[in-house]
Amino acid sequence: MSAHHPTAVLRAISTVLPDIVIEQDRVRDIFSGQEGLSRLGQRLVATAFDSSGIDTRHTVITDFGDNNPDARGVAPAYIDEATGALHAPGTKARNDHYIAAAGPMFVEAARRAIHAADGIEAADVTHVITVSCTGFFAPGPEYLIARNLGLDPAVQRYHLGFMGCYAALPALRMAAQFCAADPEAVVLVVSVELCTLHLHASDDPDLIVANSLFGDAGVAGIVSRRPLGAGERGLRLDRSETAVTPVGEGDMAWTIGDEGFDMVLSTAVPQIIGEHIAAALRPLVSSVPELASALAEDGLGRAVARWAVHPGGRSIVDKVEESLGLEPQQVAPSRDVLRAIGNVSSATVMVVMQRNLEAYAEPGDRLIALAFGPGLTVESTLMTVVTG
């Protein structure tokens, strides 16, 4: 067996998607057809949905499926079958739906990641880190994973909750720190977000934008310093940083309302990210002379081949591409993911990493992951594509 990696590697990234697929045009028509929506609201819905860069999303809401099952279980009604009117279930009803739907997705994503990691068994897992901002329950998802997959009862369990879209990158940083402390550590990182549970009709521009973007998904990966299997690809976690932009604290927020969680996502967010992304990346690349020089000379896109930009929306990807001088192919994985599943909050950036590994990256490529959330917080991670 070859020696352990000196630095932790993210491997076996695995995605779980709900079975129900919704076409963006159909959801647009549902929201624009709501009684009481103003003319301005109707125009905003059409603009937001049509310019989103999204073709399809996945949801756990059976009402959006072609065949609405008779047995709803704990799920509340979101759409009136006769009139097409959107209902407004209370936060408790939505959270109960989250508990019923998210739990199995956490377990399944974790199971797939363990199965995909060459030489890793459930008994090897030493730490579980779960991530979610779209619901709450305790004992939590990290407990369900440990119980249902038969992990060691002493496995260390952590949950990062309600941090928003950037939270997967702090989870990976935490996992790398565990591996730095213990070369034998095997850390399971799992994110599940059921964003569509919080959709509701509104004239509010921020909520209209949120309604046009968010979908449901789960993703998991293994972080360890153990050797990769023959031909197995992974992402070596070289370093990570957190930055907060000097403006924008009120432009992105996530609060709990009486009818689900309320997203504030102002139209100023892409511009703020575009103006401050270079400064936010400076701490990440400062210890790598050639990357620091490239950033100073507006050439970071030439020095770093691959990018996993969190597609918070099409305009966010546009601004990052423009501000950093990236080539279209470098943000293609982000656009691929946005087009197919929308913005799935904290799970998105790991899905974009998976897309990079499967379709774009080559061994030895550097990759920078970027994710954005309330604050405005910019999380960044520098990685290298490695293979067994």
Report the pLDDT value the prediction gives residue 61, as an integer from 0 to 100.
95
Question: Is residue 283 in some structural domain?
Answer: yes
Rg over CA atoms, the chain: 20
Given a cut of 90, is residue 202 above it in pLDDT?
no
For residue 228, the 8-state DSSP code is: P
Report the pLDDT value the prediction gives residue 5, as an integer from 0 to 100.
82
CB contact set of 349 (below 8 Å; sequence gap of 6+) = 165, 166, 168, 169, 308, 310, 369, 370, 371
Average pLDDT over residues 80-96: 92
- Rounded CA-CA distance 67/269 in Å is 37
Report the pLDDT value the prediction gives residue 69, as an integer from 0 to 100.
46
Report the pLDDT value the prediction gives residue 237, as an integer from 0 to 100.
98
Average pLDDT over residues 361-365: 97
- What is the CATH classification number for the domain harbouring 337? 3.40.47.10
- Rounded CA-CA distance 381/283 in Å is 11
Domain that holds residue 253: 233-387
CB contact set of 346 (below 8 Å; sequence gap of 6+) = 131, 132, 133, 163, 164, 165, 166, 167, 168, 191, 193, 371
Which tens digit of pLDDT belongs to each residue from 274-301?
999 999 999 999 999 999 999 999 999 9
CB contact set of 207 (below 8 Å; sequence gap of 6+) = 200, 262, 263
- Rounded CA-CA distance 158/11 in Å is 19
Question: Is residue 187 in some structural domain?
Answer: no
Q: Write the single-letter amino acid at 189.
A: V
Given a cut of 90, is residue 267 above it in pLDDT?
no
* Local confidence band at 65 (pLDDT 50, 70, 90 cut-offs): confident
Kindly list the distances between the CA atom of residue 342 and the CA atoms of 17, 122, 240, 336, 369, in Å, as whole numbers in the listed order. Answer: 12, 31, 25, 9, 17
Per-chain mean pLDDT for the chain: 94
Both tokens of residue 278? Answer: 């270079």
Given a cut of 60, is residue 269 above it in pLDDT?
yes
Q: Which position has the token pair 């360890």?
A: 224
Question: What is the bridge-based pairing of β-strands 127-132 and 156-161?
Answer: parallel
Q: Which position has the token pair 């095997």?
A: 186
Both tokens of residue 384? Answer: 């290298």
Phi, psi of 76 (to 5 degrees): -75, 170
Given a cut of 60, is residue 139 above it in pLDDT?
yes
Given a cut of 80, is residue 368 above it in pLDDT?
yes
8 A C-beta contact, residue 310 and residue 341: no
Q: Which position has the token pair 């060691």?
A: 152
DSSP bridge pairs for 50: none
Report the pLDDT value the prediction gives residue 73, as an integer from 0 to 100.
59
Question: What is the bridge-based pairing of β-strands 306-309 and 366-373?
Answer: parallel
* Local confidence band at 82 (pLDDT 50, 70, 90 cut-offs): confident
Given a cut of 70, is residue 70 above it in pLDDT?
no
Given a cut of 50, is residue 68 above it in pLDDT?
no
Question: Is residue 277 in some structural domain?
Answer: yes
Task: Give the catalytic positions in this structure.
Answer: 165
Domain count for the chain: 1
Query: Is the dihedral angle over the CA atoms 9, 274, 200, 25 positive or is it negative?
Result: negative
- Rounded CA-CA distance 335/352 in Å is 9
Average pLDDT over residues 248-272: 92
Q: Write the single-letter amino acid at 239.
A: R
Question: Is residue 165 in some structural domain?
Answer: no
Share of residues in the chain with pLDDT > 90 (%): 88
Question: Is residue 300 in some structural domain?
Answer: yes
Given a cut of 90, is residue 204 above it in pLDDT?
no
8 A C-beta contact, residue 14 and residue 219: yes
- Evaluate the omega torsion of the peptide bond into residue 207 and state whether it is cis, within 30 degrees of 0: no
Which tens digit of pLDDT belongs to each residue from 7-21?
999 999 999 999 999
8 A C-beta contact, residue 133 and residue 313: no
Average pLDDT over residues 16-44: 93
Report the pLDDT value the prediction gives residue 264, as an integer from 0 to 100.
84
* Local confidence band at 381 (pLDDT 50, 70, 90 cut-offs): very high
Both tokens of residue 279? Answer: 């400064």
- What are the start-end ranges of the H helices in 4-150? 24-32, 39-50, 91-116, 141-148
Question: Is residue 120 in some structural domain?
Answer: no
- Rounded CA-CA distance 88/198 in Å is 9
Question: Is residue 99 in some structural domain?
Answer: no
- Rounded CA-CA distance 364/384 in Å is 6
